Amino acid sequence: MTVGLARITPRKALRVLSRHEVNRLKDASSGGLHEIFKRCAYAVLNCGNEGDDCLAEQEGYMEFDIQVVQLDRGIVLDLFNSPDDAFVDGEVIFGIREHLFAVLRDIIYTHDEILNNPRFEPLQGEQITNMVFHILRNANMLKYGLPTGLVVCWGGHSIGHDEYSYSKKVGYQLGLRGLDVGTGCGPGAMKGPMKGATIGHAKQHNRSGRYVGITEPGIIAAEAPNPIVNELVILPDIEKRLEAFVRSTHGIIVFPGGAGTAEEILYMLGILLHPSNQKIPFPLIFTGPAPAKEYFEQIDAFIGASLGKEAQKKYKIIIDDPSAVATHMKKGIDKVTKFRKKNNDAFFFNWMLTIDPDFQTPFIPTHENMANLNLHKQQDSHKLAANLRRAFSGIVAGNVKEEGILEVRKNGPFELHGDDHIIKPMEVLLASMVQQQRMKLPGKQYIPCYKIINN
């Protein structure tokens, strides 16, 4: 069911846009912003959908439209054929309304003030970090004066009930300790910790709890912002999204997941393995309920085989103990606080962390790029982590991103080549994710978008 026409107005920001900005948002041609705005807005309105295929809702998406209307008193948004789950008694749900204007804010700012601004050199590492900083600051996500306490939770959108329930328990323990939660803002292990934290915050009468959602246009359709998110920010690509996570958080918890979670783990380990980051405290915990023990043993074995023992020292695995997870994280964040005070680093943005350009440059998952990835031991461990991250990023694109799905449908599965002692453990790990239904939501048949080629 859809709602034929609805008009909404901003409550806080973006009451006024220039004629140029309005025209770009209406322009459906190449170079206009209408298509990206429409795609992200539909994902926000369709947050009740439990699917993970960005092409499955194509019919509803084609019927939907959104237009910016400029009036003398400011702007309004006209919504056409919107999903009725976004409404209550004929009115757009308040949180969804806020998310729509967050989408509008980030798309306009990113394209006009960042990507098309000549003072930002997109291929220079320091400038990419500046891009991320400016986008987060414009979204009012960098809170000056607040204590360190934002914990990012990574994990799969395709998880079972036991793992989802466990993620809520961890979130609850974080909330009791006054810690806030940031995630990729989708369902599953991204929603569970936020849901648990709301109860923990409520029990402590904490009315300023933060539930931060960080996403990007290529994945928002498959992982629409869940309703708990009260701070939404959209980065232009996956690499800037990952850097936004790492720069703004004070610690990371990883729940079981699929290829996307493996990508995030490899991104974080690659940064921590960089020689310049060896003395920077950064709590990283892998956790899940008792049945997830085997999953993390497989992840740990793959990391050991590919990146070595030094990488395995960068994280702690805690199984089936939500309280221990929260306690360990709180102690880790206390160390982060002391370190940043000693080194005069900001609490709200981790400037001291070195992120190699290999982790910042956008990776386009074409068949040629995937086949040419350097998955061999003859390189520094943080460089290998960057290439492994790209491999899993390509698999994520083939699983849930429109351009990746279309690429695989047209040319067949991506091919990955590499050393046997790297590529074979990767094959075992991916096969276990498929068997455990971590690539697609339970009940849906998964057709691999990749092929492992043993050299």
Q: What domains are defined for the chain? A: 2-117 (3.30.1850.10), 133-342 (3.40.50.450), 357-454 (no CATH)
Radius of gyration over every alpha carbon of the chain, rounded to an integer in angstroms: 21
pTM strictly above 0.85: yes
Predicted local confidence at residue 73, as pLDDT = 67
170 torsion bin: left (phi>0), alpha (psi -120 to 50), beta (else): alpha
Least confident residue range of 48-52, 94-98, 366-370, 401-405: 48-52
pLDDT score recorded for residue 53: 52
Supply the pLDDT for residue 125.
76
Other Cβ atoms less than 10 A from the Cβ of 386: the count is 26
Residue 138 has pLDDT above 60, yes or no: yes
Rounded to an integer, what distance in angstroms lies between the CA atom of residue 377 and that of residue 375?
A: 7
pLDDT number for residue 19: 77
Q: Quick one: what percent of the chain has pLDDT higher than 70?
A: 93
Note the pLDDT tens digit of each residue in 381-403: 999 999 999 999 999 999 888 88
Q: Any idea which of 53-57, 144-148, 170-174, 360-364 has the lowest mean pLDDT?
A: 53-57
Return the half-sphere exposure (C-beta side, CA atoms, 13 A cut-off) of residue 386. 19
Encoded amino acid at 429, one letter: L
pLDDT in tens, 229-238: 999 999 999 9
Q: What was the pLDDT predicted at 454?
A: 75
pLDDT at residue 324 is higher than 80? yes
Give the pLDDT band of residue 440 (cuts 50, 70, 90). low
What pLDDT, on a 0 to 100 scale, did the predictor assign at position 99? Answer: 92
Residue with the larger pLDDT of the pair 120 and 55: 120
Residue among 17, 129, 138 at smallest CA distance from 67: 17
pLDDT at 455: 64
| DSSP per-residue codes, 303-317 | HHHHH-HHHHTT-EE
Reading the block at residue 205, the tokens are 């009468």
Cα–chain center distance at 399:
15
Q: What is the pLDDT of residue 326?
A: 98
Q: Which helix H or strand E contains 15, and what residues bound it?
A: none
